[in-house]
Structure 1
Amino acid sequence: MNTHNTDLAQELERGKTGLIHDPREGDTSKITLVKAKGSLVWDDKGREYLDCTSQAWSNSLGANDDRVVEAAIAQLRDITHARPNFNTIPLLQLTARLQKLSPGDLNRIGYCLHGSLAVEMALKLAFKNRPGAQNVIVMQDSYHGRSLVTMAASWPHPTNPFAALQPRCFTRVPHPDSYRPRMGMDLETETQLCLSLLEDTITKGVDGSVAALIIEPILGNGGHIMVGKSYLQGLREICTKHGIILIFDEIQSCFGRTGAMFAADYYDVVPDIMTFGKGISGGFPLAGIMASDRLEGFASGEDALTFGQFPVSMAAAVATIDAIIADDLCGKARALGDYATQRLHEMSDRRKLIGDIRGPGLFVSIELVKDRTTKAPSPRAAAEVYRRGVEKGVLFGESRYAGLGNLIKVKPPLDCSHAQMAHALDVLDEVLGSIEADGIA
């Protein structure tokens, strides 16, 4: 190794010791990525991996899509930054694109750079339009981010050192779960029970009025749970009845991941506000909200971020949206997702660790259980699937927070090839077999 390479290696090792975020418990070999293309990534040791995480589901297109990269480079040559007092061409182009795609009357668009702030923007707009309201209703298994506000809106954290800093306006309500229904109910019966409990909470369970109800149409980090169309329709009716702002948090489900452009389209239920992020901009940071024309917007100074209108991300987003439409990636996500879930159902005949299989589209996951009768979660098996998958060159997604996760996610970019998906599922089958052979549950 020459002197330059030696110095670089030493610098990288020194850099690892300076990171304030602790590594995952037990993980002594966190991968350092140096290159990405399509559904593949490479580490600093030259090893290639099939990325079934889409880098936190942010690559709707495969990584470093040429159209996105060229759009970003072209924008870099023109202007890289403009404060929110000014418009830019990509800002106006992107807004026009989103207006054409938005469900219903969600034609007012706001921007920021990550999902947590998009959720906060949505909540701010809801409170502005519900003066005097004091409460927000969230789901028991919801996940809305890791800012102070959005952590408070998410499922309970086992040890939370930030509670003193967080708002107390959030009330959690139960939601239907087809895999673990209450008292053995069928999904529709449990749906009606949960809707009844929600209305009781609105009228009897909180002090003061409710500004908003926020829900992920498919509960992401809380288990990839599909609450069902009738439940979302019921939420829409209840929120309309009580004048409550209905917010869909689509940070994870937007821009083709479900096989539709938005989960709101998939379910045919239109909220009052919808957050978006992750898959919008080909890996560049961007998020925001779409709001109903009926809502009053922000006044000057109520919502402004220095880098909230990053022109490079917006140019990348325009290119990403155009490519999703031109390549029919919604259709491809449906087809590849159908193939994946079919393979997983076949796999479950052999692999008893698989308790449930979830979709839709490329929102694909399996829940691992110690026993199919008790449905006791197996986070240990999930951790082993991730570890052994890495050894075999496939990066599977895993719910990691606080060791609670027993979910394995198979969510590559929407333009992942059939052969690549088949390989990922072959590896998953092999890994599950080895874990069961080792008696791990």
Structure 2
Amino acid sequence: MKKNYQMEAYSRFNVVFEKGLGTKLYDINGKKYLDFVAGVAVNCLGHCHPSIIEALNEQSQKLIHVSNLYWTPTQNQLAKKLISLSDHNTVFFCNSGTEANEAAIKIARKYGKLNGVAEKYEIITMENSFHGRTMGALSVTAQPKYQKYFMPILEGIKSVRFNYIDDLKESVSEKTCAVIIEPIQGEGGIIRADKEFLLKAKELCEKNDALLIFDEVQCGIGRTGDLFAYQSFGVVPDIVCLAKGLGGGFPIGAVLANKRASVFKPGDHGCTFGGNPLGCAVSLAVLEELIDNKVINGVKEKEKIFKEEIEKLMNKYSFIKKIDGKGLMLGIHLDIEAKKVVSKAFDKGLLIVGAGNNVVRIVPPLNITKEEINDGVQILKEVFEELS
């Protein structure tokens, strides 16, 4: 594509997509691609799902935006729905995962101030985590490559090794106001948290009167086979940060909080477009498909199919080391650069994306069919054969 007028904040593939349907995308030349990226775990129902289109059409003819100075039916309905499905009490709506994590950081800092302990503002984060690119979210994203040009970051942030309980025990103290964890690390390489690690984090937070925050921006909303990722691990945090799949392609984010974490008062935080009627209507349609129409119910079976097929390939190609993740958030860990696999798959009409240098990430729509899984795996087989 000819040089455009946008800032060069992204390294883009040499393709222009103009339409999509289900798991398929079509470029301006008519070439078809099987999409295992799904907008980076956003399009949980694929492209142009009829329920999302219907919700957009219907709501856009009623009300699009009025601001949070007023109540709207769809916002109230979505809040009630999320609370009824979770173990939490209140919701704050925003537009993205970064914004959800920013809100959670502010909740944690205010909670620390209300606690009465001097200097209770430290936040413990995990090495190789990713929580967003705004300054607060970037500060708890413990990857130097994302931070180096934007230093100094927020003070009071400590990083510990993911899944190392002893590191966590050494770092959490009475000065800690929160521990933030991705139940499955995304950009860090698709690595699952150990349940024991999450349980210890919860125990330490309760002992030190700190908040436990789960960043479920990528791994939530059905991606693990349960609506919320914390339900798949059996550990309930104080705060859950959501986005991506929550809108199925329409920008919306949310923060769920339990009673003790519900500390915001008028003036503490805000979001102009957060919880707008259009986004909430779409999110309600997405949740109806996932839960009432039982899309989530098939996720764990599809995970099993993927893992069985990749494990077969591990026996054939020594550079495939393991497959990690849960549900339809899977990572193929390699001894070679992931971008080589991504590039060759792209040429063959399969969209996949890396997670770090050596992991191929698989995050297709949750309603992908078994036949489409097999089609994608076949392309991966061809790619791995060429690289062997």
TM interval, short-chain normalised: over 0.9
Distance in 2, Cα, partners of 1:40 & 1:70: 20
Alignment match, 1:5: none
Alignment match, 1:220: 186
What is the one-letter code of the residue matched to 2:41? W
What is the one-letter code of the residue matched to 2:97? G
How far 1:56 sits from its partner (Å)? 1.0
Could you list the per-position Cα deviations for residues 224-254 of structure 1 after superposition, in whole angstroms to 9, with x for gaps in the alignment? 1112111111111111111110000000111
Distance in 1, Cα, partners of 2:263 & 2:58: 32
User: 8 Å contact 2:172–2:204 — kept in the other structure?
Assistant: no
Could you list the per-position Cα deviations for residues 87-119 of structure 1 after superposition, in whole angstroms to 9, with x for gaps in the alignment? 1111011011101111x2x12000100101100
Identity of aligned residues (%): 28
Alignment match, 2:330: 364
Match among 185, 188, 201 for residue 171 of structure 2: 201
User: 8 Å contact 1:23–1:30 — kept in the other structure?
Assistant: no
Alignment RMSD: 1.5
Alignment match, 1:264: 230
Distance in 2, Cα, partners of 1:326 & 1:351: 41
Q: What secondary structure, in the 3-state scheme, does the structure 1 residue paired with 2:91 have?
A: strand
Alignment match, 2:387: 435
Distance in 2, Cα, partners of 1:157 & 1:290: 29
Distance in 1, Cα, partners of 2:80 & 2:143: 38
Match among 346, 354, 361 for residue 398 of structure 1: 354
Inter-CA distance 22–293: structure 2 relative to 1 (3 Å threshold): closer
Runs of 4+ in 1 over 3 A off after TM superposition: none
User: 8 Å contact 1:82–1:309 — kept in the other structure?
Assistant: no
Alignment match, 1:353: 319
How far 1:32 sits from its partner (Å)? 1.3
Distance in 2, Cα, partners of 1:98 & 1:113: 16
Alignment match, 2:206: 240
How far 1:23 sits from its partner (Å)? 4.7
Alignment match, 2:116: none
Distance in 1, Cα, partners of 2:255 & 2:74: 17
Distance in 2, Cα, partners of 1:405 & 1:419: 29
Distance in 2, Cα, partners of 1:227 & 1:329: 25
How far 1:142 sits from its partner (Å)? 0.8
Distance in 2, Cα, partners of 1:48 & 1:313: 29
Q: What secondary structure, in the 3-state scheme, does the structure 2 residue paired with 1:130 have?
A: helix
Distance in 2, Cα, partners of 1:82 & 1:169: 37
Distance in 2, Cα, partners of 1:426 & 1:359: 21
Distance in 2, Cα, partners of 1:71 & 1:284: 11
Could you list the per-position Cα deviations for residues 116-145 of structure 1 after superposition, in whole angstroms to 9, with x for gaps in the alignment? 110010111111111152210000121101
Distance in 2, Cα, partners of 1:234 & 1:329: 32
Structure 2: runs of 5 or more not aligned: 114-118
Distance in 2, Cα, partners of 1:307 & 1:22: 23
TM-score, normalised on structure 2? 0.95
Alignment match, 1:21: 8
What is the one-letter code of the residue matched to 1:58? V
Within a 5 Å distance, the mapping from 1:114-125 to structure 2 comes to 114-125=96-107
Alignment match, 2:29: 45
How far 1:306 sits from its partner (Å)? 1.3
Match among 146, 149, 155 for residue 133 of structure 2: 146
What is the one-letter code of the residue matched to 1:200? E
Q: What secondary structure, in the 3-state scheme, does the structure 1 residue paired with 2:290 have?
A: helix
Match among 133, 149, 153 for residue 161 of structure 1: 149
The 10-residue stretch of structure 1 (122-131 or 336-345) with the greater mean CA deviation from structure 2: 122-131
User: 8 Å contact 1:155–1:222 — kept in the other structure?
Assistant: no
Is 1:388 paired with 2:344?
A: yes
How far 1:22 sits from its partner (Å)? 4.6
Distance in 1, Cα, partners of 2:128 & 2:308: 27
Q: What secondary structure, in the 3-state scheme, does the structure 1 residue paired with 2:266 have?
A: coil
Larger Rg: 1
Distance in 2, Cα, partners of 1:367 & 1:68: 34
Structure 1: runs of 5 or more not aligned: 1-11, 177-193, 370-377, 437-441
Alignment match, 2:362: 410
Aligned residue pairs total 382
Could you list the per-position Cα deviations for residues 358-410 of structure 1 after superposition, in whole angstroms to 9, with x for gaps in the alignment? 131111120111xxxxxxxx32xx111111111111001212xxxx4211112
User: 8 Å contact 2:36–2:350 — kept in the other structure?
Assistant: yes
Alignment match, 2:197: 231
What is the one-letter code of the residue matched to 2:68? P
What is the one-letter code of the residue matched to 2:112? R
Q: What secondary structure, in the 3-state scheme, does the structure 2 residue paired with 1:17 have?
A: coil
Could you list the per-position Cα deviations for residues 182-215 of structure 1 after superposition, in whole angstroms to 9, with x for gaps in the alignment? xxxxxxxxxxxx2232222224xxxx71110000
